[in-house]
Amino acid sequence: MKLDGIFPPIATPFDHNGDLYLAKLKHNVEKWNRTKLAGYVVCGSTGESVMLTREEKVKLWETVKEGAAPNKLLIAGTGMESVRETAELTNLAAALGYQAAMVRTPHYYKNLISSGEAQALYYRAVADRSKIPLIIYNWPQVTGVDIPARTVVELAGHPNIIAVKESSGNIEKTMYMVNHAPPGFQVLVGSAPTLWPSLMVGAVGAILAFANAAPYTCISIYEAFRTREDKAAVDLQKRATPAAVAVTVKYGIPGLKYAMDLNGYYGGPPRLPLVPPGVEAKREIEEAFREIKG
């Protein structure tokens, strides 16, 4: 399974009562289908997965599966704290037609599971029980757990673990995994501000929250890299970085959803306790996205 290209971890649309707004999800998917996005990640962190019930996740998986173009690869975010629930969710997604699962590092009991050995045990146990291949998902800025590069390389030898999404923005770590993992293992990144340099050191693609609001910009950077138009790639990266930082690092999901609204997608409100951006934040996002088209 090739994971080359750009994948958005789809933002979950809610109405103003906080309920799933599936009609707007269909609208977004229909628009994304017209792009060269490689596929969709459903129920990742950007999808506010920690705020969703199991039943809601199933509805989202079903809706995206129904609306996605046939050439789009479907990845389900299934990571939970226990091996049992993660494997159950992964196999449920598999039954619905998803081709891979993205599994975040467990992190609640940090004093017990932050070591490479504990993380390796978790991923091996989930992979052994899963009917579709796994993508390791590392986002230490949020979880407080940074799975060691050596552990990822070790896990890359498991036949049912095919990739890692490295969202730390650490280029050296990305390079280490690219250079030391066995052939066939794929490294993706999750940091839009470091997309181009990550591709330059061997990442095959990216799973980017920023791509929800600016898919064409992300795809353009990837295509410029692929066709070796380095000058264009650097220019695109420089112009995209302020907007990407605003809606990922600074204002997070609420800011990203507002940027989606600006660019013709439905972002809508986040789920409480997250709150929409205020007046000043909106003004900053509008300025950052002035030349960033959806």
165 is catalytic: yes
| Cα dihedral 164/209/93/67 (nearest 10) | -140
Cα angle vertex 97, ends 132, 270, to 5°? 95
> Cα(first)–Cα(last) distance of the chain, in Å?
28
d(CA 275, CA 280): 14
Task: Indicate which residue of 24, 57, 65, 165 is catalytic.
Answer: 165
DSSP labels for 64-79? HHHHS-TTSEEEEE--
Do residues 241 and 195 lie in contact, with contact meaning Cβ atoms separated by under 8 Å?
A: no
Instruction: Give the residue carrying structure tokens 């199933």.
Output: 58
d(CA 121, CA 113): 9
Catalytically annotated residues: 165
